Amino acid sequence: MTSLDTEKATTRRADARYAWRLLSVVCLASLMSGLNNSSLTIALPAIVAGFDASAFEASWVLLAYQLTNVVLMVFFGRLADVLGRRSMYLTGVAVFTVASLLSGFAPTVGVLIACRVLQSVGSAMLITNSAALLTVAFPRRLLGQGMGIYMASFSLAQLLGPTVGGYVATEFGWQWTFWGNVPVGLVCLLWGLRVMARVPRSGEPLRLDVAGNLLVLFGLGGLLLALSQVGAVGWGSPVVLGGFGLFALAVPAFLLVERRVPAPVVDLRIFRDPAVGLGTLAGFLATMSRFAVVLMMGLYFQAVQGDTPAEAGVKVLPLAVAAIVVSPLSGALQRRVAPRTVAVAACAVSLAGILMLLVVIAPDTPYPLLIGAVVVLGIGSGAFIPANSTAMLQDLPPDRLGVTNGVRLMAQSSGVVISTAIALTLLSAPLPPALRAHVFDGSISEVSPAALDALVTGYRWVFGLMAVMSVLCLIASVAARHVAPHPGAPGRTTAATTVPTTEE
């Protein structure tokens, strides 16, 4: 071996060592943010009880975080290209850590919601930079392995979050669901300062779609405000009408702006390709039909069956297990079966699970019946996401992957926040206004056992809407399976490309 070969081998080993050390930083941060979010789906009743919060305030503990994330995801992705990904990533870790500390000390629910917004700012800085940092650091031969481990950290957070959050809220108090992030965040920040090398900036001028981002904020924010208030004040309220009106005005204005600005939040040209357009629609509808199930079942076990947060966290665990086990199996199946075919089958399985929940839900439904339906739903959901993502992205050239994947993630994030708002509103709608807050603090079975039948009616409304969304998702997936790429679709090729399908 020549000295040149030895030098190249040494460089390759050094590059690989750096990549794995960087991966440890990224995975630690993703575990911190992912655990915090998934744990709150179970700890929410303890938070609501601690503040004696209203149903509206309870919903915005979740919605404020989700809305901020949707608005800032693309914004910070573009900002990092110009300002530097290392600086933005470490700033995100610091912001998330400080916000977690402040959240635990929040004296009122309003302050907690403000802290959740600050948390989401930090989280958006992390999410938009993680995959890009790894893509630059990892050699091509190791990138797939690194991305797989990174994805597994999110899956692990989803798996452990409800159980950890329920246990911590029961044994130590809801504040520790936030304070537990602080030591992890400090370790991640110090390790990141030591490990992370500076990534060269792109040198491109900073082009931000300020108008587009503001229209997303006001339009989606107006919709969420209307949905979260309609149950309390009625459809004729000026707040509700104003929120829906703002959304109705923002949508066409957004489409007009995005066609004209040089660096849009959503590049509408990608929808010339029907495979991308229908795949994005299917992903949005899938999120609408499934995301809120963990939240709904966590509330069911606490509000209807009187479980503690710890008990509820353990009971919803099989949903995450099913999704995590099936997701890699879906990837293996795609070697033999077309991804779109797998997506259609997975959507049908998810629909079966939702229909099972709709049929069996009652105040005294045995746990095996409930969890059987939930596991079926988890199997379908775990198989759908990688299959639908691959079907959308596999034939795109590298220069179109980033923008298309960004739109896909934004559509899914929008589905998350809208589905959460609708589910929380429908769930409590059949109850008298005075009892609605007791759903979210988990005490309604003690305060008014007679109201449980009305609450179960709310669950049937939620699962019925989810079933409708799942049927529409199935239709979109079937349609996508039968379309050919649009000849004018920008950058569409015929050669398959292996792409990472990063999910939060």
* Residue whose tokens read 């609501």: 48
CB 126 within 8 A of CB 89: yes
Residue 494 pLDDT level (bands cut at 50, 70, 90): very low
Class of domain 12-199: mainly alpha
Residue 352 pLDDT level (bands cut at 50, 70, 90): very high
* Residue whose tokens read 């995975």: 27
Gap between the Cα atoms of 352 and 466, Å rounded: 11
Tens digit of pLDDT for each residue in 395-449? 666 556 666 767 777 888 888 889 999 998 899 889 888 888 888 888 888 888 8
Gap between the Cα atoms of 282 and 267, Å rounded: 18
Residue 4 pLDDT level (bands cut at 50, 70, 90): low
Tens digit of pLDDT for each residue in 356-370? 999 999 998 999 999
Gap between the Cα atoms of 352 and 458, Å rounded: 20
- The pLDDT of residue 144 is 63
Residue 495 pLDDT level (bands cut at 50, 70, 90): very low
CB 451 within 8 A of CB 435: yes
Mean pLDDT of all residues in the chain? 84
The residue length of the chain stands at 504
CB 180 within 8 A of CB 43: no
- The pLDDT of residue 358 is 94
> What residue ranges do the domains of the chain occupy?
12-199, 209-262, 267-504
3-state SS string for 27-75: HHHHHHHHHHHHHHHHHHHHHHHHHCCCHHHHHHHHHHHHHHHHHHHHH
Nearest to 293 by CA among 226, 381, 174, 231: 381
Residue 498 pLDDT level (bands cut at 50, 70, 90): very low
Gap between the Cα atoms of 282 and 470, Å rounded: 9
φ/ψ bin of 133: left (φ > 0), alpha (ψ from -120 to 50), beta (otherwise): alpha
Gap between the Cα atoms of 140 and 89, Å rounded: 22
* pLDDT-wise least confident of 12-26, 220-234, 391-405, 438-452: 391-405
φ/ψ bin of 307: left (φ > 0), alpha (ψ from -120 to 50), beta (otherwise): beta
Tens digit of pLDDT for each residue in 33-75? 888 888 888 899 999 989 988 888 988 999 999 899 888 877 7
CA dihedral over 257, 408, 296, 93, signed as positive or negative:
negative
* pLDDT-wise least confident of 180-184, 251-255, 354-358, 393-397: 393-397
In percent, the amount of the chain with pLDDT more than 70 equals 88
Gap between the Cα atoms of 399 and 320, Å rounded: 34
Angle between helices 85-104 and 109-137 (to 10 degrees): 150
Q: Is the pLDDT of residue 502 over 90?
A: no
- The pLDDT of residue 403 is 67
List Cα–Cα distances, 361 to 188, 309, 468, in angstroms.
43, 20, 17
List Cα–Cα distances, 323 to 39, 164, 386, in angstroms.
17, 18, 11
DSSP string, 433-492: HHHHHHHHTT-HHHH-GGGHHHHHHHHHHHHHHHHHHHHHHHHHHHHHHTPPPPTT-TT-
φ/ψ bin of 366: left (φ > 0), alpha (ψ from -120 to 50), beta (otherwise): beta
List Cα–Cα distances, 386 to 124, 135, 373, 381, 448, in angstroms.
22, 19, 22, 9, 43
CATH (residue range 267-504): 1.20.1250.20
Residue 151 CB: number of other CB atoms within 10 A?
Answer: 20
Gap between the Cα atoms of 384 and 437, Å rounded: 34
Output Rg (C-alpha) for the chain, integer angstroms: 23
Q: How far apart are the first and last CA of the chain?
A: 44
267-504 matches 12-199 in CATH topology: yes
